[in-house]
């Protein structure tokens, strides 16, 4: 990550020299002539943040939450965004300039793709989890290089080999961004995700933790070095120009993060998924991953797929058909998410329908 650390450091130093470095501060002890709380409603109810964090939206609660999350996940620093989408479309363009090339797994989330598109960088996809293809592409490019992957892919439920990926990126002087949206809360002894499980915190350029999945809230942390956090505060447009999260959201995230450390619930999910897969008809085209809660079943045509979705709805089962363009043509599927609150009886009903209908 030396290339990117030096790049960020140079940009920060230039801001310091020009006396325009952005820093998060507190101003709530002053008479307010700066916030956007025009009618005083946020002040009356002590709710809204009233502005971006660089103007009036910073507070002790969110600073404490970022520090708590960093300690929990063993990173030097974390920065909170209002959503994973906001984080991804801001993080990548902030890091990637015209002298950067981005290599991304062909199955990354739409928000990551949009972040790539919004950047000034050249970009190339590589075949899903195909590290040989990635290595061949990396070898052809000089300059700053970023590889973007997910810890668990949202449609297939599988994971990259991060250890091997790290070896390849080190060989080709590239840095890695990992999105933990579907792994955080599920992967690892304490549910802290794949990067944490493999002790790669110091090896990854930026790790993204959206909170709308297992945490059951909203918002997102981007975690990494202190330099990374300072850089994003100064150069990440989706952070700089967005209203800060409300105190209600900050409190909710703080409370619900404490629910993560429940090994029993993670074990229950994997046990239920194992039961489901063992009892599913063997001729169905199924894809999943060892540590995810996601099981996808491919169907040969969208008519059959929509029929099975409708039948499941009729029986009181909420399972969504995923169609093109969300997935490639020919890869339409039922996407099934197993939860800790699902029961064997519910799975048996799902199995009964799937095992008798194509």
Q: How many CB atoms neighbour CB 13 within 10 A?
A: 11
Q: Indicate if 310 and 250 belong to the same structural domain.
A: no
pLDDT of 44 higher than 70: yes
Q: What is the DSSP letter of 326?
A: T
Residues 6+ apart with CB under 8 A from 300: none
pLDDT at 358: 46
Residue 271 CA from chain centroid, whole number: 25
pLDDT of 357 higher than 70: no
Domain containing residue 329: 263-356
Q: Indicate if 208 and 281 belong to the same structural domain.
A: no
Q: Indicate if 332 and 211 belong to the same structural domain.
A: no
Residues 338-347 have pLDDT tens digits of 999 999 999 9
Q: Indicate if 226 and 274 belong to the same structural domain.
A: no
Q: Indicate if 222 and 328 belong to the same structural domain.
A: no
Cβ atoms 34, 222 nearer than 8 A: no
Q: Indicate if 289 and 162 belong to the same structural domain.
A: no
Which of 224, 254, 220, 225 is closest to 238 using CA atoms? 220
Task: Please give the backbone phi and psi of residue 343, each rounded to the nearest 5 degrees, phi first.
Answer: -115, 165
pLDDT at 47: 87
Residues 6+ apart with CB under 8 A from 282: none
Tokens 């930026």 locate to 206
pLDDT at 70: 98
**CATH code of residue 240:** 3.40.640.10
Q: Indicate if 203 and 63 belong to the same structural domain.
A: yes
Helix axis angle for 344-356 and 302-314, nearest 10°, is 140
Residues 263-309 have pLDDT tens digits of 688 999 999 999 999 999 999 999 999 989 999 999 989 999 999 99
pLDDT of 260 higher than 90: no
Cβ atoms 148, 102 nearer than 8 A: yes
SS3 176: strand
Tokens 């990494």 locate to 224
Write down the pTM of the prediction: 0.94
- pLDDT above 70 covers a percentage of the chain that reads 99
Task: Please give the backbone phi and psi of residue 125, each rounded to the nearest 5 degrees, phi first.
Answer: -80, 160
Distance CA 65, CA 58 (A): 12
């Amino acid at each position: 990550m030396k290339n990117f650390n030096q790049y960020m450091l140079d940009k920060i130093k230039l801001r310091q020299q020009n006396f325009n470095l952005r820093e998060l501060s507190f101003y709530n002890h002053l008479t307010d002539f700066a916030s956007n709380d025009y009618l005083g409603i946020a002040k009356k109810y002590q709710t809204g943040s009233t502005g971006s964090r660089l103007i009036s939206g910073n507070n002790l609660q969110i600073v404490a939450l970022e520090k708590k999350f960093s300690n929990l996940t063993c990173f030097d620093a974390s920065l909170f965004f209002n959503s994973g989408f906001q984080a991804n479309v801001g993080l990548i363009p902030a890091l990637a300039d015209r002298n950067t090339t981005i290599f991304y797994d062909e199955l990354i989330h739409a928000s990551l793709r949009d972040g790539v598109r919004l950047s000034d960088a050249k970009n190339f996809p590589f075949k899903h989890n195909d590290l040989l293809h990635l290595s061949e592409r990396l070898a052809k490019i000089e300059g700053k290089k970023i590889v973007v992957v997910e810890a668990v892919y949202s449609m297939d439920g599988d994971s990259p080999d991060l250890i091997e990926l790290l070896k390849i990126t080190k060989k080709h002087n590239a840095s890695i961004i990992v999105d933990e949206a579907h792994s955080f809360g599920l992967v690892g002894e304490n549910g802290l995700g794949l990067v944490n499980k493999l002790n790669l915190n110091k090896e990854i350029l930026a790790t993204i933790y959206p909170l709308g999945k297992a945490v059951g809230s909203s918002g997102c942390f981007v975690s990494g070095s202190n330099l990374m956090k300072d850089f994003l505060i100064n150069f990440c447009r989706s952070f700089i120009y967005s209203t800060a999260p409300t105190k209600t959201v900050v409190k909710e995230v703080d409370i619900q993060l404490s629910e993560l450390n429940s090994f029993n619930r993670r074990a229950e999910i994997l046990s239920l998924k194992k039961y489901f897969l063992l009892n599913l008809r063997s001729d169905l085209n199924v894809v999943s991953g060892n540590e995810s809660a996601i099981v996808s079943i491919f169907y040969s045509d969208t008519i059959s797929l929509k029929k099975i979705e409708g039948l499941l709805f009729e029986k009181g089962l909420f399972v969504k058909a995923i169609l093109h363009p969300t997935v490639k043509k020919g890869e339409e599927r039922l996407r099934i998410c197993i939860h800790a609150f699902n029961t064997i009886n519910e799975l048996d009903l799902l199995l009964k329908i799937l095992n008798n209908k194509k």
